[in-house]
Structure 1
């Protein structure tokens, strides 16, 4: 099993979610987060005052999938989230030792269905 965590633009949440549901991924955790990468935020003038926004709004999607599903999930996220501009986001993949469904006590891949 692998945990996939994607940081994406907020406006790309629905396309990414739809792409994952189409693959049969039925468990996601979505969080509103703030951060910056190469963009380093932005600067704007509000009522004559220069305001520097260093942290940009992003969405973080986390899911755990079987090893065989990883490639498809990565491809789906990239295709749905890509705009070609700086700030499209980042995906990380980490190994998961075990998973336990609390309600039934099931463990391993069986908890991902």
Structure 2
């Protein structure tokens, strides 16, 4: 299992969320964040509003999820965001006790 964290522009969030739903990836966590990358044109200590999406997926779905995020959040201009992929040791669905991939979606 992997955790895919994406930091994207806020106005791309609905498009990304709907595209993920189309491929069957509905469970996600999202929240507004502020940050900055190395792009020019922004004063060094100013932070820009973004959305952060966190999704834990099966290993075989990682590339598909990354592709969906890129296709729906890329404008080709600085500030499109970043994606991070992090190993996840386990997942447990509290309600049923299911573990691993069975606990995901």
TM-score of the pair, normalised by structure 2: 0.94
Cα distance per residue 1:32-72 (max 9 Å; x no partner): 000000236736xxxxxxxx870000000000000010110
* Alignment-derived partner of residue 57 in structure 1: 49
| Pairs aligned (count) | 105
| Gaps in structure 1 of 5+ consecutive residues | 44-51
Q: Which has the higher strand share?
A: 1
TM-score of the pair, normalised by structure 1: 0.88
* Alignment-derived partner of residue 100 in structure 1: 92
Superposed, 1:32-51 pairs within 5 Å as: 32-39=32-39, 42=42
* Bigger Rg, which one: 1
| Gaps in structure 2 of 5+ consecutive residues | none
Secondary structure of the equivalent of 1:87?
A: coil
Asked if 1:112 corresponds to 2:104, the answer is yes
Asked if 1:28 corresponds to 2:31, the answer is no
* Alignment-derived partner of residue 60 in structure 2: 68
RMSD, aligned CA: 1.5
Whether the aligned pair in 2 keeps the contact of 1:41 and 1:53 (CA below 8 Å) is no
* Alignment-derived partner of residue 10 in structure 1: 10
Distance of 2:45 and 2:89 partners within structure 1: 38
